[in-house]
Structure 1
């Protein structure tokens, strides 16, 4: 069972896409990650982009904890439909699901938001090649707000991501088979601390 851990929709259950095309982030990892993000002031009021969204659990967790805008991007048809159903069931404002490939979305005008993205969650299937993740991070860099936080979740057996400019700080947290890298892009603004 996957659920929203905390916030306005805390405890709400989320559907998981059928099949083995997605790998939902465990509640334990989401709780630890979002506790750190909230402590750093990176969630409340943020413009959040959830890439390889799957069920939408990461982006919906951000919405539950006060993000102003959340866009869930997922290419797999069944997973995008599940994310859409979860967003509707949770009923939080400012959440939108885009059924498209991450690379195509990032190259489209829809990826550019006024002021840039404040928080980006990148959680590709473990089978996605490191080179693809590197290309996604490079395409993402010009779309980020000053002080944006980028989170990448991968298998602990995977090499660390190759971070583009303007990443200034990267922290790594390991949770068994899962490793989460949290990067801050450019110096954090006033009232924001490194995650």
Structure 2
């Protein structure tokens, strides 16, 4: 796994082989960030990365100069890996890593985010509830963007906040506003 663009372009991210997380492929990440390049000004973004896994998405946002990124990960091994990477890459001022359950954070966390990204486990039984939970949390600023990564078996076109969907193999990114 590598960072695909920005100041950290080409840096390798090597999570331990024991990780069971399904990281977003380099190709899908590159496609997502190419879309975002045309939608947002990275330098003005305040990002919340839910279900952070390896931290690759947070690192991609940091590489492009986002103001701040908050990465939320429940699994201690993944959380520790992200913390270690953030520290060794000198990104402590830009990325805050929180060990917490996303569903509890959405109900208790305070903040004003311009972009929220979520990459839950594809088998998560409550994945279809996530868009409404994010919008109910009031963490996303008006005109903010919520992006949900999910498998092809889900369709969110009926969601009141649905904007568009992009598919890259078995990876889907659904955008909500």
Partner residue of 1:178 out of 162, 168, 171 = 171
In the alignment of these two chains, the number of paired residues is 174
In structure 1, the partner of 2:104 is 104
Query: How far did 1:42 drift?
Result: 4.7
Q: Which whole-Å CA distance do the structure 2 matches of 1:126 and 1:95 have between them? A: 25
1:1-195 to 2 correspondences below 5 Å: 2-16=1-15, 18-92=17-91, 93-108=93-108, 111-113=109-111, 116-129=112-125, 132-141=126-135, 142-160=138-156, 163=159, 167=161, 169-183=162-176, 185=177
The range that moved more, 169-178 or 57-66, is 169-178
Q: Which whole-Å CA distance do the structure 2 matches of 1:160 and 1:57 have between them? A: 25
SS at match of 2:149: strand
What TM-score does the superposition give when structure 1 sets the normalisation length? 0.82
1:74/1:100 contact within 8 Å kept? yes
SS at match of 1:25: coil
Q: Which whole-Å CA distance do the structure 2 matches of 1:35 and 1:84 have between them? A: 26
Q: Which whole-Å CA distance do the structure 2 matches of 1:24 and 1:58 have between them? A: 9
Q: CA-to-partner distance for each residue in 1:6-46, whole Å, 9 max, x for gaps?
A: 11111111132553531000111111111111211252221
Indicate the RMSD between aligned Cα atoms, in angstroms. 1.8
Q: Which runs of 5+ in 1 are unaligned?
A: 186-195
Q: Which runs of 5+ in 2 are unaligned?
A: none
Query: How far did 1:122 drift?
Result: 0.6
Relative to 1, partners in 2 of residues 1:50 and 1:161: Cα closer, same or farther, differing over 3 Å? farther
Relative to 1, partners in 2 of residues 1:148 and 1:21: Cα closer, same or farther, differing over 3 Å? same
Query: How far did 1:127 drift?
Result: 1.4
Query: How far did 1:159 drift?
Result: 3.4
Runs of 4+, deviation exceeding 4 Å:
none
1:133/1:161 contact within 8 Å kept? no
Relative to 1, partners in 2 of residues 1:91 and 1:65: Cα closer, same or farther, differing over 3 Å? same
SS at match of 2:155: coil
